[in-house]
Amino acid sequence: MTAFKTIGLIGRLASTSTQYSISRLVSFLSKQQVEILLDDETSSVLPDGGYEIASRNELALRCDLIIVVGGDGSLLSAARAFAGHNVHILGINRGRLGFLTDISPEEIEYKVGEVLDGKYLKEERFLLDCRLLRDDTELSSGLALNDVVIHPGKFIRMIEFELYIDDEFVYRQRSDGLIISSPTGSTAYALSGGGPIMHPNLDAMALVPLYPHTLSSRPIVVRGSSIVRLIVSEDNNLNPLVTCDGQSQTMSQPGDEVIITKSEKSLSLIHPEGHNFYETCRSKLGWASHTGNP
């Protein structure tokens, strides 16, 4: 008896190594007592497999487990599609760093087999809601598992904005932009920008300036329930971009407001037994290993 009955597969098909891992995973799962569904794109890897093809909306409604084969970017895309649904997400790493996709390709059969046997850890990760307003009218909205970033786009020019937290004025800043990061995203772009590493279970957000004009502008950590509001200064002579997880973006204009809050939607992320956040940091970030008793 497996812990999951209907499993959806999603993969990043640009990589031949990903295609190999998907084929290997399907071969393993076909021997288990599970139903296998492939999303539209992933099915092209197995054109003659005879497996059912389903849209991501169908996968969200029918599957109790989604396995993502690829890098963290692939899982970020899946997170936004499946957040708020009663489905678990498991990642197999075919990317580079792999903070979210933590099963190595060599361990597919063993680790996925353990998960199917019910030997796994579950985490609920919250997402960020982002809304862009112009004259109190909502122009666009987006979801982000990692971060929302306000930046100048391809131009290397500073932007100016005002920051408010829970309607309290914080500062007026000139910089290359601002990263608003969830705990999940604290080991991604925010880390490169000098932000703090936050444990995934924290109910908090980090605000990390990108190359601020004043050296006294430092990252700020606020509670997860905070309402973060940025007003794009009228003095800007360019249109800053608002990006969610580096995958979807909207162009703003001077006078616009960007509001970021904790989303009501969450993501159920699972790991094989023995997963440890600090061990992941040690292996991915090159921290020194333990050499003796504390």
Pairing between strand 88-93 and 65-70?
Answer: parallel
The reply to whether 127-265 shares the fold of 6-118 is no
Q: Render each residue's pLDDT in the chain as its tens digit; 294 residues.
A: 688 999 999 987 667 778 888 889 999 999 999 999 998 877 777 666 678 889 999 999 999 999 999 888 889 999 999 999 999 999 998 767 678 888 888 899 999 999 999 999 999 999 999 999 999 999 999 999 999 999 998 777 899 999 999 999 999 999 999 999 999 999 999 999 999 999 999 999 999 999 998 888 899 999 999 999 999 999 888 899 999 999 889 999 999 999 999 999 999 999 999 888 998 889 888 888 777 666
Half-sphere exposure of 43 (CA within 13 A, CB side): 14
Half-sphere exposure of 198 (CA within 13 A, CB side): 27
Structure confidence at residue 103 (pLDDT) = 87
Top-level CATH class of 127-265? mainly beta
What are the residue numbers of the active site?
Answer: 72
Q: What is the pTM of this model?
A: 0.92
Please, what is the angle between helix 16-29 and helix 108-116, to 10°?
40
Which tokens is 132 given? Answer: 């862009």
6-118: CATH number:
3.40.50.10330
> What distance in Å separates the CA atoms of residue 83 and residue 209, rounded to the nearest whole number?
28
All residues at 6 or more sequence positions from 255 whose CB lies less than 8 Å from its CB, including other chains: 134, 135, 231, 232, 234
Where do the domains of the chain lie?
Answer: 6-118, 127-265
- Whether the CB-CB separation of 148 and 130 falls below 8 Å is answered with yes
